[in-house]
Amino acid sequence: MTMFGSDLMLHGEHDLELQIERTCLALGLDFHDEYQVRMFARDVLQNIDRLRKAAREGDMQARIKVELYGLAMLMHKTNSATFGAGYMNQFAKVTVNQSAWAAIAMALWNELESRNPDSTEP
């Protein structure tokens, strides 16, 4: 269920990208601003358990952050299914119409990589 209603069904990458853009707007996150997106990624990855708990307790800001993180993971899963497990090697080409997701994904991957430099896959 998304914050925009349980009746919203995401059909394909286009709908998912639109939902990610809408969720960024609801959060006040400018996905064109690398610094803002990186700080979002850092916050979510450092505090995911606290954010999930706060979201369950009714904190809308936390809920939106958790939802955006979940949408990014869902898009990753969708892209993996569509383009194959190695799609990250062609990230720029694959994500040409997914600018919001691409910005968030890159920030998440970069943040994860900075925490685990031996990792080769997000």
- pLDDT tens for 9-31 read 445 667 888 999 999 999 999 99
Could you give the percent of the chain with pLDDT greater than 70? 75
Q: Is residue 88 part of a domain?
A: yes
Q: Is residue 39 part of a domain?
A: yes
Count up the domains in the chain and report the number: 1
pLDDT recorded at residue 3: 44
Residue of higher predicted confidence among 88 and 73:
73
Q: Is residue 70 part of a domain?
A: yes
**92-113 mean pLDDT:** 80
User: Which band of pLDDT confidence, cut at 50, 70 and 90, is reported for residue 120?
Assistant: low
Q: Is residue 2 part of a domain?
A: no
Return the bridge partners of 2, or none: 5
Quote the CA–CA distance of 74 and 66 in Å, as a whole number. 12
Contact 107, 41 (CB under 8 A): yes
Q: Looking at this protein, which amino acid is placed at residue 65?
A: K
Q: Looking at this protein, which amino acid is placed at residue 75?
A: M
Q: Is residue 79 part of a domain?
A: yes
Range of the domain at 49: 12-113
Q: Is residue 73 part of a domain?
A: yes
